[in-house]
Amino acid sequence: MFGCLVAGRLVQAAPQQVAEDKFVFDLPDYENINHVVVFMLGTIPFPEGMGGSVYFCYPDQSGMAVWQLLGFVTNEKPSAIFKISGLKSGKGSQHPFGAMNLPQTPTVAQIGISVELLENLAQQTPVANAAVSSVDSFTEFTQKMLDNFYNFASSFAVTQAQMTPNPSEAFIPANVVLKWYENFQRRLTQNPLFWKT
């Protein structure tokens, strides 16, 4: 029913079923994993009104299991990418795997999937930083740079009454900078590589 993928590794398509509604994938050498993809295989859909909460579990320094909610998969959203590299030092959260005595090895983490009602999934809050940004780093950098430039230039804005005539300085109206900023953002949203043409 589920698959798990880590870059540079084989796809795992046979999770360990630890309860009727709970599945676990082992992630050996988890400290070298940045992202993990969890997906439905497409062979068996969730029952009507059900979905799967996705959890990341790693052993803390004392060897105890720390579970963190990453997000979910459903028939309508059959796959998800999660960033786990920053989660290895966070606090655990409530999870449905508590009563199970799953073996913990110091270098092996686990991805747990718990089949639950969709209403319950909607009320859960995933751990911060687990979702992967849908904006690539270049686009994100460009938007931050635009914001920084606009804020910097706006901080020097003065009214016409406050201006002191100086023949050696050129002034650019703030509305021109704002118009450029808005046009650049619009074009970046439509095509992040527009500047290459």
26-36 pLDDT, tens digit each: 998 888 888 99
Mean of per-residue pLDDT scores for the chain? 82
> Strand pairing partners for 66?
58
Quote the pLDDT of residue 5: 93
Please determine, for residue 62, whether its predicted confidence score (pLDDT) is greater than 80: no
Percent of the residues in the chain that have a pLDDT greater than 70, as a whole number: 84
**Selecting from 1.10.150, 2.60.120, 2.40.30, 3.20.170, what CATH number does the domain 1-121 have?**
2.60.120
Quote the pLDDT of residue 116: 94
- The answer to whether residues 93 and 36 touch, using CB atoms and an 8 Å cutoff, is no
What is the DSSP pairing of strand 22-28 with strand 108-117? Answer: antiparallel
Using CB atoms within 10 A of its CB, is residue 112 exposed (0-12), middle (13-18) or buried (19+)? buried
> Strand pairing partners for 69?
55
